Amino acid sequence: MDDDPRELREADWPDDDGDRSPALRRRAQLVRVVSLVALFALVVPGALSTWALAESTATRACRLAVDAMADARTPSRVAFEVDRLETLGWNCYALAPTGEVRVAVLGVIPGAPDLRPRSGA
């Protein structure tokens, strides 16, 4: 019985494109490029549509929160913030004449705002 099978010998493996013909090297390079382009073509549209859906959901939830907490004519805006752990994700702001007031933290995946009154105790 042979302890060193032919399939695992180093001499049979091609070195890094050293044993390949130029046509095979070009084909391998083309396959790599096409694979990367296909990967980006699958990932980028999904990421962009996910971001757009999250932004529209956050905008609607923010409008609900501002309408519940302030006047319906008060302008609002949403922003995705990563500066502090407590406010990580989508934040809802009401635009007042004196400045912006945070109305709700909607989270990383925005949903319905928590509009329950907070007690001081």
Gap between the Cα atoms of 90 and 57, Å rounded: 10
Distance of CA 72 to the CA centre of its chain: 32
Alpha carbons within 13 angstroms on the beta-carbon side of residue 109 total: 1
Gap between the Cα atoms of 44 and 33, Å rounded: 16
- pTM for the model: 0.68
Gap between the Cα atoms of 90 and 110, Å rounded: 7
pLDDT by position in tens, the chain (length 121): 557 666 666 655 555 656 678 888 899 999 999 999 999 999 999 999 999 999 999 999 999 999 988 888 899 999 999 998 888 999 999 998 888 999 889 989 998 887 777 665 5
Domains of the chain: which residue ranges? 16-107
Gap between the Cα atoms of 31 and 23, Å rounded: 12
